[in-house]
Amino acid sequence: MIELRTSPHMKGTLSLPQIMHHVIYALLPICAFAVYQFGISALALILVVTLSCVLTELFFNYISDKNSNPKKSLNDYTAVITGILLALTLPPGFPLWMGAVAGFVAISMGKTLFGGMGFNLFNPALLGRAFVQAAFPVAITSWTPGGLTDRFTQFIPSSLTLPFTAPASIDGFTGATPLALHKFEGTSTSFNDLFLGFSSGSLGETSSLLILLCGTYLIIRGIMGWRIPLAIFISTIIISGTFFLFDNSYPSPLFMLSSGGLMLGALFMATDPVSAPVTPAGMWLFGILIASITIIIRLFGGLPEGIMYAILFANATVPLIEAIAQPRKFGHVARKGAGK
Partner 1 sequence: MSILDFFKYKTFAHGIHLPDKKEHTREQAIRRLPFAPELIVPLSQHFGTPAKAIVSPGQEVVRGELIAEANGFMSVPIHAPASGIIKEIELYPTARGPKTESIVIKTWPGASQRTASFEPVNIPSLTHEQFIKAVQDTGMVGLGGAGFPTHIKLSVPPEYSIDTLVVNGCECEPYLTTDHRLMLEQTAELLLGTSMLMKALGAKQAIIGIEDNKMDAVEAIKGHLSGVEHIQVKAVQTHYPQGSEKLLIKVLLGREVPSAGFPYQVNVVVQNIATITQLGKLLPQNQGLIERVVTVTGTGVKKPGNYLVPLGTPIRFLLEHVGFSGSAKHLILGGPMMGSTVASLDVPITKPVSGLLVFNEQSIEKVSDDVYPCIKCARCVDACPMHLNPSMLGQLASKREYESMQENFNLMDCFECGCCSYVCPSNIPLVQYFRISKSIMRERAIEKQNND
**Chain positions contacting partner 1, by CB under 8 A:** 1-12, 14-16, 18-19, 76, 116-119, 225, 273-274, 276-280, 283, 322, 326-333, 335-338, 340
Q: Where are the beta strands (DSSP E) in the chain?
A: none
Closest CB to partner 1 among residues 66, 335 = 335
Of residues 166, 144, 168, the one with CA closest to residue 154:
144
CB of 276 to partner 1, least distance (A): 7
| HEC sequence for 299-326 | HHCCCCCCHHHHHHHHHHHHHHHHHHCC
| In the complex, least distance from residue 76 CB atom to partner 1, rounded to whole angstroms | 6
Nearer to partner 1, 7 or 67 (CB): 7
Min dist. Cβ of residue 324 to partner 1 (A) = 13
Inter-helix orientation angle 124-135/78-88, to 10°: 40
Query: Nearer Cβ to partner 1, position 168 or 338?
Result: 338
CB of 185 or CB of 340, closer to partner 1: 340
Its sign, for the CA torsion 83, 199, 177, 230, is negative
State in angstroms the smallest separation of the CB of 127 from partner 1. Answer: 17
Sequence-distant (6+) residues with CB within 8 A of 87 are 31, 45, 46, 48, 49, 50, 99, 203, 204
- Radius of gyration (C-alpha) of the chain in whole angstroms: 21
Closest CB 326 distance from partner 1, rounded Å: 6
Toward partner 1, which CB reaches closer, 136 or 286? Answer: 286
Q: How far apart are CB 23 and partner 1 at their closest, in Å?
A: 11
Return all residues near 10 (Cβ < 8 A) that are at least 6 apart.
none
Is the CB of 171 or the CB of 335 nearer to partner 1? 335
Distance of closest approach, residue 54 Cβ to partner 1, in angstroms: 17
CB of 228 to partner 1, least distance (A): 10
CB of 331 to partner 1, least distance (A): 4
DSSP string, 256-285: HHHSTTHHHIIIIITT-GGGS-SSHHHHHH
| Residue 176 or 232 with smaller CB distance to partner 1 | 232
Distances (CA, A) of 172 to 156, 279, 339: 11, 49, 78
Q: Which is nearer to partner 1, 82 or 177 (CB)?
A: 82
Question: Which CB, 15 or 242, lies closer to partner 1?
Answer: 15
Report the alpha-carbon distance of residue 6 to residue 40 in Å, rounded. 52
Amino acid at 199: S
Quick count: other Cβ atoms within 10 Å of Cβ 299? 15
**Contact (CB, 8 A) for 197 and 204:** no
In contact, 296 and 239? CB cutoff 8 Å: no
CA distance 136 to 257: 27
213 by Cβ neighbours in 10 Å (0-12 / 13-18 / 19+) ranks as middle
